[in-house]
């Protein structure tokens, strides 16, 4: 996925900064190690097309991907297209997605997005960032996921809770705001790697660099991690 065409964001607010060559080289080496350690990194949300990915990503807010994947098969069997979903009874949609949490807000977003897709895009999920951001319930993170995974296009890097944590621990950013974290990562990494980087950091956060008990002793990037010593992985870093 990272090898597909990636397009840089054109708006001033999305332009990455100018980190040093040393910082960019270090970020590249981190990515290389993660690619070697996690060759199967991909989107964890089960989907067959852009519509299913859009729905799953909206449902994933404040919910685990595993729980979303448990809910979506029945959801898509009942509402397989935006047109079908746009005609759905809101109460039935709420009941179907209740296990994902915040089900009333998510149902409004899903129904609004479906209606918008039918009315303005012929029932198809658009690939343009501006069009995606017009959909109810879709912010930049969701739009980045859909563009990157479904269309192989990148305006930036998906920043979820895992990416936010890992980027900070690895010293790739000193910010807490997702927008600023994304800009830092965009400045450090070439556009062709933005999609790949998101998947790699997310999987690394799930498998190894966990929030409470990071597995520094088996971390493939411990030697490049400024947080390894404080997290208990100094000896692992020296061994690698």
Report d(CA 120, CA 126) in Å as an integer. Answer: 10
Report d(CA 170, CA 188) in Å as an integer. Answer: 12
106 has catalytic annotation: no
Catalytic option among 65, 160, 184, 196: 160
Instruction: Please answer whether residues 223 and 237 qualify as being in contact, where contact means their C-beta atoms are separated by less than 8 angstroms.
Output: yes
Q: What is the DSSP letter of 101?
A: S
CA dihedral for 27, 58, 68, 56, sign (positive or negative): negative
Report d(CA 137, CA 173) in Å as an integer. Answer: 27
Three-state DSSP class for 42?
coil
196 has catalytic annotation: no
User: Token pair 């998101």 is at which residue?
Assistant: 198
Report d(CA 205, CA 133) in Å as an integer. Answer: 27
Catalytic option among 65, 141, 184, 196: 141
Report d(CA 160, CA 13) in Å as an integer. Answer: 19
- Tell me the catalytic residues: 141, 160
């Amino acid at each position: 996925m990272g090898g597909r065409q990636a397009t840089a964001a054109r708006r001033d607010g999305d332009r990455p900064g100018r980190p040093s060559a040393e910082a960019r080289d270090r970020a590249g080496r981190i990515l290389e190690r993660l690619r070697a350690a996690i060759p199967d990194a991909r989107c964890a949300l089960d989907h067959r097309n852009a519509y299913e990915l859009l729905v799953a990503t909206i449902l994933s807010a404040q919910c685990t991907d595993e729980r979303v994947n448990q809910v979506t098969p029945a959801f898509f069997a009942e509402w397989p297209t935006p047109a079908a979903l746009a005609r759905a009874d809101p109460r039935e949609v709420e009941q179907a997605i209740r296990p994902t949490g915040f089900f009333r807000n998510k149902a409004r977003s899903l129904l609004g997005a479906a209606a918008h897709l039918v009315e303005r895009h012929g029932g198809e999920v658009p690939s343009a960032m501006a069009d995606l951001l017009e959909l109810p319930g879709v912010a930049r993170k969701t739009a980045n996921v859909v563009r990157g995974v479904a269309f192989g296009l990148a305006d930036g890097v998906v920043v979820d809770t895992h990416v936010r944590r890992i980027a900070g621990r690895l010293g790739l950013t000193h910010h807490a705001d997702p927008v600023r974290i994304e800009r830092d990562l965009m400045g450090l990494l070439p556009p062709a790697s933005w999609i790949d980087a998101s998947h790699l950091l997310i999987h690394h956060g799930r498998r190894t660099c966990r929030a409470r008990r990071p597995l520094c002793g088996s971390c493939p990037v411990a030697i490049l991690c400024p947080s390894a010593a404080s997290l208990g992985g100094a000896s692992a870093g020296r061994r690698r």
